[in-house]
């Protein structure tokens, strides 16, 4: 059974057929770095990570790109509020994003392009659209001419006529059509800007993703992913401004992740139920949160509750318990059929990445394996090795919820990661407060213990010297 999943563009489940045999080119919309990302964003990032990991489990080579939007109205607004450059705001939260995704067990993308580092290509793309008549300039602003792309609305199902009625409420008289959208914004006093054929300015949000994805994946790539909230207008506009220029499909498959509610209510700061990824990691491990996300199908809405997280913790303990028991169990004589359970797992994941059904297969296997382990005959070495190998490849390799490595003290590597992340954050706070002696003490003390801290623009990483 080949991998098949729901394509938002065609509104049906389709068999995945890559552009290049054995390879997957995949783009996921990353963060706009004006704040810490919240647990709704985290669900999209985690599920994208799982999809990527499963393709690798299935033997594909994956070129995975997730952008970082580091110039945007929200970033500028926060910089003004805090009286500091927007570039500093962006760098602060871009670093935090990379740190927090690592804590969540989300693997770094093959490439994390930044909008400000892609400005030359963005300007060239906009200019080409203007030259082709698909965009036009007004007083230093450049707009995409929606009427130039006859298939506008094919992803979201929205009709231009209906959009025009709604857009007239806040119409900009300078636009030819109220639904035309911004590609380039002329510079305002105090804002960061770049030179362009239309004067100083900066790009609109939509064009950034089109250019960054195509720069690293080509004019047409396999999969474009993101949250349901991005279908319109963001992804719809990406398609229009990309295909209007190239005349070729932008992405063959569109994958979208369901919304997240908190105790049956939409997450909102005004309701007091808004949680960042950092908030929730103070109470639950990344493995528990990942497991909780995956218990619900990626396209379905997810209700985030304390009770659900506690249940996820219990379920995860069962899987980890079997994995640890397999290492310590005595050699027996009975064999165990791992292949049948692995096939159930594969069939579930191949069927629109049905993680809940995949966990059903894993828990059935766990129950049967525990029974076999504690039977008088026990389980033979080959079966135990096969079980541990499959759990490692599925629960650790695909889902990122188990740890197969232990440090010298017997603590899990996940615990060590958590302690080190805390030390890195404390050192960063000391540096921000100019407590240089404390910062150096943390660094030098860790070095004496055989742990080296490495600072870079992407944040601080650690490694052992032993």
Domain 18-257, CATH homologous superfamily name and number: HUPs (3.40.50.620)
Separation of alpha carbons 27 and 303, rounded Å: 26
The residue among 99, 414, 422 whose CA lies nearest residue 285 is 414
229: nearest Cα among 265, 260, 264 = 260
Domain ranges, ordered by start, for the chain: 18-257, 265-398, 413-464
Tokens of 247: 């005349």
Same fold, 18-257 and 265-398: no
Measured distance CA(192)–CA(94) in Å, rounded:
17
Contacts of residue 19, defined as CB under 8 A and 6 or more positions apart, other chains included, come to: 25, 220, 221, 222, 252
Tell me which fold the domain 265-398 belongs to: Isoleucyl-tRNA Synthetase; Domain 1 (1.10.730)
Q: Which residues, in sequence order, are bridge partners of residue 411? A: none
**What's the rounded Cα separation, in Å, for the pair 204 and 71?**
9
Instruction: Tell me phi and psi for residue 6, to 5 degrees.
Output: -70, 130
Single out the residue of 58, 17, 37 nearest to residue 106, CA to CA: 37
Cβ–Cβ under 8 Å, residues 255 and 8: yes
Helix (H) or strand (E) holding 417: helix 413-432
Half-sphere exposure of 32 (CA within 13 A, CB side): 15
The CA dihedral of 183, 184, 188, 193, to the nearest 10 degrees, is: 130
How many helices (H) does the chain have, and how many strands (E)?
A: 15, 17
Helices (H), 330-400: 338-350, 355-373, 381-391
| Residuewise pLDDT in 10s, the chain (466 residues) | 899 999 999 999 999 999 999 999 999 999 999 999 999 999 999 999 999 999 999 999 999 999 999 999 999 999 999 999 999 999 999 999 999 999 999 999 999 999 999 999 999 999 999 999 999 999 999 999 999 999 999 999 998 877 765 554 456 778 999 999 999 999 999 899 999 999 999 999 999 999 999 999 999 999 999 999 999 999 999 999 999 999 999 999 999 999 999 988 888 777 778 899 999 998 899 999 999 999 999 999 999 999 999 999 999 999 999 999 998 888 899 999 999 999 999 999 999 999 999 999 999 999 999 999 989 999 999 999 999 999 999 999 999 999 765 433 333 445 566 688 788 888 988 888 889 889 888 988 888 777 888 776 656 877 665 4
pTM of this structure: 0.85
């Amino acid at each position: 059974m080949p991998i098949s999943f729901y394509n938002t563009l065609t509104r049906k489940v389709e068999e995945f057929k890559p552009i290049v045999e054995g390879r997957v080119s995949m783009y996921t919309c990353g963060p706009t770095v004006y704040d810490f990302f919240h647990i709704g964003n985290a669900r999209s990032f985690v599920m994208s990570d799982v999809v990527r990991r499963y393709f690798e489990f299935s033997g594909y080579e994956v070129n995975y790109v997730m952008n970082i939007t580091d110039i945007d109205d929200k970033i500028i607004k926060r910089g003004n509020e805090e009286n500091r450059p927007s570039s500093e705001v962006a760098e602060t939260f871009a670093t935090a994003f990379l740190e927090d995704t690592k804590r969540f067990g989300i693997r770094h993308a093959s490439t994390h392009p930044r909008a400000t580092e892609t400005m030359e290509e963005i300007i060239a793309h906009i200019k080409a659209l203007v030259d082709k008549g698909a965009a036009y300039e007004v007083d230093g602003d450049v707009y995409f001419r929606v009427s130039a792309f006859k298939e506008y609305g094919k992803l979201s199902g929205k009709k231009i006529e209906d959009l025009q009625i709604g857009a007239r409420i806040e119409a900009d008289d300078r636009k030819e059509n109220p639904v035309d959208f911004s590609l380039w914004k002329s510079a305002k006093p105090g804002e960061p800007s770049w030179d362009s054929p239309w004067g100083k300015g900066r790009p609109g949000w939509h064009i950034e993703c089109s250019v960054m994805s195509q720069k690293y994946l080509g004019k047409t790539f396999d999969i474009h992913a993101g949250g349901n909230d991005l279908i319109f207008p963001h992804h719809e506009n990406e398609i229009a401004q990309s295909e209007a220029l190239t005349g070729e499909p932008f992405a063959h498959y569109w994958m979208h992740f369901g919304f997240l509610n908190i105790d049956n209510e939409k997450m909102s700061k005004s309701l007091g139920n808004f949680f960042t990824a950092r908030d929730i990691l103070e109470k639950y491990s990344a493995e528990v949160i990942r497991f909780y996300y995956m218990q619900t199908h990626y396209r379905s809405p997810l209700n985030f509750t304390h009770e659900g997280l506690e249940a996820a913790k219990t379920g995860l303990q069962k899987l980890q318990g079997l994995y640890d028991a397999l290492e310590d169990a005595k050699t027996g004589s009975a064999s165990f059929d791992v292949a049948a359970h692995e096939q159930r797992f594969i069939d579930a994941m191949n069927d629109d990445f049905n993680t809940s059904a995949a966990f059903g297969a894993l828990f059935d296997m766990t129950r049967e394996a525990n029974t076999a382990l504690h039977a008088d005959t026990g389980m033979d070495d080959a079966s135990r090795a096969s079980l541990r190998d499959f759990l490692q490849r599925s629960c650790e390799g695909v889902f990122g919820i188990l740890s197969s490595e232990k440090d010298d003290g017997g603590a899990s590597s996940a615990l060590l990661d958590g302690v080190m992340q805390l030390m890195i954050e404390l050192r960063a706070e000391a540096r921000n407060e100019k407590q240089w002696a404390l910062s150096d003490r943390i660094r030098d003390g860790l070095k004496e213990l055989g742990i080296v801290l490495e600072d870079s623009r992407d944040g601080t990483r650690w490694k052992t010297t032993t």
